[in-house]
Structure 1
Amino acid sequence: MQAEQQLSKSLKPRHLSMIAIAGVIGAGLFVGSGAAIQQAGPGILVAYTAAGLVVILVMRMLGEMAAAHPETGSFSTYADKALGRWAGFSIGWLYAWFWIIVLGVEATAGAAIMHRWLPMVDQWEWALILMVLLTLTNVASVKSFGEFEFWFASVKVAAIVVFLLLGITAILGLMPGVDAPGLQNLTGNGGFFPNGPGAVLAGVLVVVFSFFGAEIATIAAGESENPVDAVKKAVKSTVWRILVFYIGSVAVVVTLLPWNDASVAKSPYVAVIELFGIPGAGVIMDVVVLTSVLSCLNSGLYTASRMLFSLSMRGDAPKSWRKISKRGVPVSAVLASTVVGFVTVGLNYLAPETVFLFMVNTSGAIALFVWLVIAISQLILRRRMGADAKDLALKMWLFPYLTWLSIVAIAALLVGMAVVPQTREALLLSMGLAAVVVAIGVYRYRKNGPQEGAANDRTGGRKDEVQSMP
């Protein structure tokens, strides 16, 4: 019996639907959107639309592969099959590294909010408490992870839905005490593109990383009773989630408030809530952001641990990380992710401007690397299928044209990171880390051809079934 067959299959459809939503709605939407709006003005809507389009295409490609062969390692195992073991090894480790770094960032952000509420407890102690709490959640069972994520996501969804309803009411002039703005804030103050088209292109680089995390649903689907249906639903819902939650809520902000208002730069959603005359706007947003932070911590730890587990099953990580508890949880992989997560939290307090900043920057472009590998893998695997592609449960639209368009768009974003001074360092450090990991992978598998794949990472399948994957 393969170890993957012992992974718990206790994630329910409601868990997976909310995990898919939570993967898109992060604290970056509530906090980071202010800087993006200040940079591009109302034209930031074009940036969100462009970035959202790329994510929708990437998710469709990933969905095609995941629906055909649901696996714990997701795109890492598909890279194994398409490009060779060195590729799956490299992108798997880079992806795990990204989420482990996120643990340090999010734990610190959550601790800052808790410290504001309860200053008698030091901020580093709050970070420790949050990390321990969510580690216990992930170690207990995958169902407990799913339940926490379900309720975290529910709070975020409810907050955005209420925000949108109130925003539309105000825009239509139906809210007492709030004048209908019309198109003044969209076309006034320098026009729709006050800082020029170049600022919008730079804005794409800012907002594109807000969408990273949508792929978590394809990883979690492997621990559900019906992974194929779960993947199909998650991928198909990506379109409306991006349109409604991101583009819709940002449209409310730039319609109701001048883009160059100081309050928008500080916290756009708080500024809009204050415009509505709702008391305690700052506290309300703190609650929503804290929920987003806890959601990101919870899902980040889950995702990093499952990728480490997958790497271990393929012989690319310590064998001890493949051990599974009686409740179907890869506890060793969870704890391995947690240990490094604790280290990053500590470094954030001990050396925030040096070591920790360096570590964060090494993960700055990993999202684009992951998307590029997904697109290239899908292109190769789909072509390798030939006539059998007609039987796919989920297909990429207009293949191969939109796949190539995605590859070109992602490559353009990487070039953009090199051109824009604010993102250049993160790109160079990320490329440096990627070069080291790829070199290790190539050296490790230098005798293996591109057809070599990992036969030990299929969730709930036999070894020979995995090897037959095109």
Structure 2
Amino acid sequence: MVGANPINDKYGFRYWNNPGAFVEHIVPGSTGGFLGVISAMVQASFTICGPEYISMVAGETERPRRVLPAAFKSFVWRMLVFFVGGALCIGILIPSDDPTLAGILSGDKKGSGTGAASPYVIACERLRISGFPHLLNAMILTSVFSSGNGITYAATRSLYGMAIEGRAPRFFAYTTKNGVPLFAAFGALSFCLLAFLQVSNSSASVLTWLVYLITACQLLNYMGTCITYLHFRKACQVQGFPRESLSFKARLQPYATYYAIFMLVLFMLLLGYDLFFPGNWSYLYFFLDYSMLVAFPLAILGWKLIKKTKYVRAAEADLTLGNTKREIDDYEIVAEIEYKPQKWWERMTQKITE
């Protein structure tokens, strides 16, 4: 930014002035700038994920009361550094109307669907920083592999759990002698075949389809999480289970959850806002944006009618999964005594969490 690059370009915040930090979208003027912010936030709704993965591994954690609070607290800072900080860096490095980025994403230039489409790589090549684009591509590859690994685990774990509870075909509950849910893993990995959609379409188009479809599902998942939490909180109050006894408590509750539900509903309705402007209507994108908003309630209603399940009232909810609080406390005490970190990074992690 201050000229410490091979071509001594002191670009600073140049691109915040031209074309500007807030670009008009669809329509001109301040309304277009507002729509640009909405468009960016809809895209960000697809990107922001991760806290649900921490919850999913909670049942397999040796010392959940010690490990999970640290994981949840650090999640906020990771989001700020990597997502907010990353967006800030991209806005500084290249303009929103960069021809190279637009050409690669549209498929008109070579590199669509590869690391060449990364704003960081484009900026490094433009500043003639040799070797750094290759390093960035390697980092992108490891990031994609790590993300895919985590998502595959989450999908496999969910499908296996549904099969155990009778909510998915029973064969998905099969495990090998080592406890690997083989069929559930194959079922989760089968969705990777959707990548072949880009054989007859540009990778940018396929990515856009998946982004809209997955974003709707993700917002609905978070909505379910919020509603579940409100029921859990109510059950704790009715059964006299004090929140002070929990090892981790979310702040500003239940108001933060009410705010989250309001924003989730708002963004679910805004997913396809651009379709309602003249010349933008598309049946394909209307289906991708809003089909899940209909499919989820129908799936819940169909399950209730077919299985004849009943609503679990707060006074009847099982907060300890069949165990007494004393049994859970005893397990935590034994796990804490028996846990002895062997490797240096385990000992370092223990000191940080303490």
Partner of 1:101: none
Structure 2 counterparts to residues 289-304 of structure 1, below 5 A: 289-304=140-155
Unpaired segments ≥5 residues, structure 2? 25-32, 105-116, 329-354
Query: The residue matched to 2:100 in structure 1 has which SS?
Result: helix
- The answer to whether residue 102 in structure 2 is matched with residue 251 in structure 1 is no
Deviation at residue 220 of structure 1 after TM alignment:
2.6
What is the aligned counterpart of 2:59 among 219, 222, 229? Answer: 222
Alignment of 1:395-406 (within 5 A): 395-406=249-260
Query: What is the identity, as a one-letter code, of the residue corresponding to 2:254?
Result: P
CA contact (8 A) 1:178 1:275 kept: no
Give me the whole-angstrom Cα distance separating, in 2, the residues matched to 1:255 and 1:427.
Answer: 31
- Quote how far apart the aligned CAs of 1:239 are: 1.5
- Who wins on radius of gyration, i.e. which is larger? 2
The alpha carbon displacement at 1:264 in A equals 4.3
- 2:208 & 2:135 partners in 1: Cα distance? 33
Q: Mark the CA change 1:245 to 1:178 in structure 2 (over 3 Å): closer, same or farther.
A: farther
- Report how many aligned residue pairs link the two structures: 290
- Supply the AA of the counterpart residue of 1:184: R
- SS of residue paired to 2:18: coil
Q: 2:273 maps to what in 1? A: 419
- TM-score computed with the length of structure 1 as normaliser: 0.54
Report the Cα distance in structure 2 between the residues aligned to 1:465 and 1:312, rounded to whole angstroms. Answer: 26
Deviations 1:389-416 (A, max 9, x none): 2222111211111111111111110111
Q: Which structure: greater helix fraction?
A: 1
Residues 17-52 of structure 1 show CA distances to partners (whole Å, capped at 9, x for unaligned) of: xxxxxxxxxxxxxxxxxxxxxxxxxxxxxxxxxxxx
Contact 1:314 1:454 (8 Å CA) reproduced: no
Q: Which moved more, 1:222-231 or 1:301-310?
A: 222-231
The one-letter amino acid paired with 2:266 is A
Once the two structures are TM-superposed, the CA of residue 345 in structure 1 deviates from its matched residue by 5.1
Q: Runs of 5+ in structure 1 lacking a partner?
A: 1-170
Query: What's the offset of the Cα at 1:368?
Result: 0.3
Partner of 1:260: 97
The aligned amino acid for 2:299 is V
Give the SS at the match of 1:189: helix
Give SS of 1:332's match: helix
Does structure 1 retain, via aligned residues, the 8 Å contact 2:2–2:10? Answer: yes
Which of the pair has the greater relative contact order for Cα pairs under 8 Å at 6+ separation? 1
Measured after TM superposition, the shift of residue 454 of structure 1 is: 9.8
C-alpha displacement of 1:236: 0.9
Q: Percent identity?
A: 24
Cα shift at 1:289: 3.2
2: CA distance, partners of 1:237 / 1:208:
20
1:440/1:465 Cα in 2 relative to 1: closer, same or farther (>3 Å)? farther
Provide, for residues 312-335 of structure 1, a one-character-per-residue CA deviation record: whole Å limited to 9, x for no partner: 222212333333333332233223
Aligned-CA RMSD value: 3.5
The aligned counterpart of 1:380 is 231
1:393-442 CA distance string (max 9 Å, x none): 11121111111111111111011114232864322222243244223322
- Per-residue CA deviation, residues 323-366 of structure 1 (Å, 9 max, x unaligned), is 3333332233223333x33654566658999xx89994654410
Match of 1:341 among 155, 169, 191: 191
